[in-house]
Amino acid sequence: MKKSLFNFSLILLLLVFIRPAAANVSLLVLGDSLSAGYGISEGDTWVAEIQRQWEQEQPDYQIINASISGDTTQGALNRLSSVIDRHQPDAVFIELGGNDGLRGFAIESIRNNLSEMIDYLHGRGIYVALSQIEIPPNMGRRYTSSFNAVFREVAENHEVTLVPFFMLEIAIDSDLMQSDGIHPNLDAQPVIAEIMEPELRQILDRVKQL
């Protein structure tokens, strides 16, 4: 009888102390220079800042930076399948379109490229979030208005999360911008990380509940 009680107590202790490790979930950032960190070392980008924070606070969450400076929606679409095959993420955050807009690419082309990316990712069972992107009115009021609207339109049509554009708070502070007036500087990276970390954490929280 005593032996049976001992064995039962041992099993209870094992159940308490030996728990299965939390399943890791990963989010891939598919972006351009705003996320790649133009003029900044890879380890100093806002994406790297978030990864360091998660290593301490949320070790089962991982963020992968697959951003390329100068990338467009078409360029990202062309490389999407190979990126996904390589990293196998659970979620993708798309931060693209700025270079398309600054070059005056057709709105329909931007819409189609974003839609194709989202359809492909959904077909792979991957959760998708899309960043709102905004550009200065250099291309004229009509183009700028149509450009700024296309991201919400795509997000609504494909039922994906639309994340506010993180540059809105950065671009108005010259101390956080590089001399070109387009790219955030080194000092801006922790600020962007503070803005984006709760947004991206929520995305992976949702993924874990699926």
Q: How far apart are CA 100 and CA 105, in angstroms?
A: 5
Q: Based on the residue annotation, tell me whether 173 is a catalytic residue of this protein.
A: no
Distance in angstroms (rounded) separating the CA atoms of residues 21 and 118: 31
Candidates 4, 85, 175, 180; catalytic one: 180
How far apart, in whole angstroms, are the C-alpha atoms of residue 158 and residue 22?
A: 30
Check if the beta carbon of residue 90 is closer than 8 Å to that of residue 25. Answer: yes
Sequence-ordered strand ranges (E) for the chain? 25-31, 61-65, 91-95, 127-131, 161-163
The answer to whether residue 33 is catalytic is yes
Instruction: Residue 132: name the closest of 98, 103, 178, 109 by CA.
Output: 98
First-to-last alpha carbon distance for the chain, in angstroms, is 45
To the query of whether residue 183 is one of the catalytic residues in this protein, the response is yes
Q: Given 32, 33, 131, 146, which residue is catalytic?
A: 33
CA–CA dist 196, 167 (Å, integer): 11
β-strand pairing of 25-31 with 61-65: parallel
From the list 71, 100, 146, 183, the catalytic residue is 183
- Catalytic annotation, residues: 33, 180, 183
